[in-house]
């Protein structure tokens, strides 16, 4: 339900939409379980890298595999994302479900691997070839052996996510009621997983 805005929230320069949805009561084990469930339902994310002289640059990427809190992507080593990562290994992956409004943000450090990484063959699927093309030279053919086929791994350092606690109709009603009454919408749970949580996640199969 919408909640009233308090003078103390204004005076303390608090963002009420965050404060009223912040969840620090749910046990971390449950938060981690629901993070996995939420992010595994969103296979396409935006991978943001830092471009020298410009700043953040994002592009849509399909997740090849999630390993605990970390994410693997197959990519063409000739793409600019690799020169971005050579400049700065910091990256962010974001996901959103347009139906539920659930979202996930993963901030981390990237490592890249060339075609000799054995994980590429395990992650490769025939559909990947559509993004590479076949030159017809028996080498640059869009297969797992194509020398352009490379791997990007995002090792998480900080994770935040928001999980809706109302239906789609309930979301609309909540926002409308809050707007009409001057209250603050409260439609879900906002959570964070910090490095201590993330290290624990890597030690436990998921």
pLDDT of residue 79 exceeding 90: yes
Considering only CA atoms, which of 153, 130, 125 is closest in space to residue 141? 130
Q: Look up the pTM and report it.
A: 0.89
pLDDT tens, residue by residue, 92-126 = 999 999 888 999 999 999 999 999 999 999 999 99
Considering only CA atoms, which of 201, 187, 195 is closest in space to residue 159? 195
- CA dihedral sign of residues 99, 166, 161, 179: positive
pLDDT tens, residue by residue, 133-157 = 999 999 999 999 999 999 999 999 9
Instruction: Give the total number of structural domains in the chain.
Output: 1
Q: Is 177 within a domain?
A: no
Report yes or no: 10 and 58 within 8 Å, Cβ to Cβ: no
pLDDT at 171: 67
Q: Is 1 within a domain?
A: no
Domain that holds residue 130: 26-164+191-203
Q: Is 45 within a domain?
A: yes
Considering only CA atoms, which of 132, 33, 50, 54 is closest in space to residue 84? 50
| CATH number of 74's domain | 2.30.110.10
């Amino acid at each position: 339900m919408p909640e009233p805005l308090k003078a103390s929230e204004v005076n303390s320069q608090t963002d009420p939409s965050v404060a009223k949805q912040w969840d620090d009561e749910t046990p971390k084990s449950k938060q981690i379980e629901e993070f996995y469930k939420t992010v595994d339902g969103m296979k396409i994310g935006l991978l943001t890298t830092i471009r020298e002289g410009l700043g953040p640059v994002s592009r849509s990427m399909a997740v090849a595999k999630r390993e605990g809190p970390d994410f693997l992507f197959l990519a063409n080593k000739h793409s600019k994302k690799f020169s971005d990562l050579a400049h700065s290994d910091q990256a962010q992956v974001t996901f959103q479900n347009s139906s539920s409004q659930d979202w996930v943000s993963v901030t981390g450090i990237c490592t890249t691997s060339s075609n000799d990484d054995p994980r590429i063959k395990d992650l490769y699927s025939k559909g990947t070839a559509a993004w590479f093309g076949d030159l017809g030279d028996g080498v640059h053919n869009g297969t797992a052996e194509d020398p352009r086929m490379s791997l990007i791994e995002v090792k998480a350092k900080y994770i935040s996510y928001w999980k809706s606690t109302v239906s789609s109709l309930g979301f609309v009603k909540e926002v409308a009621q809050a707007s009409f009454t001057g209250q603050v919408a409260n439609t879900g749970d906002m959570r964070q997983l910090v490095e201590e949580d993330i290290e624990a996640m890597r030690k436990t199969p998921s």
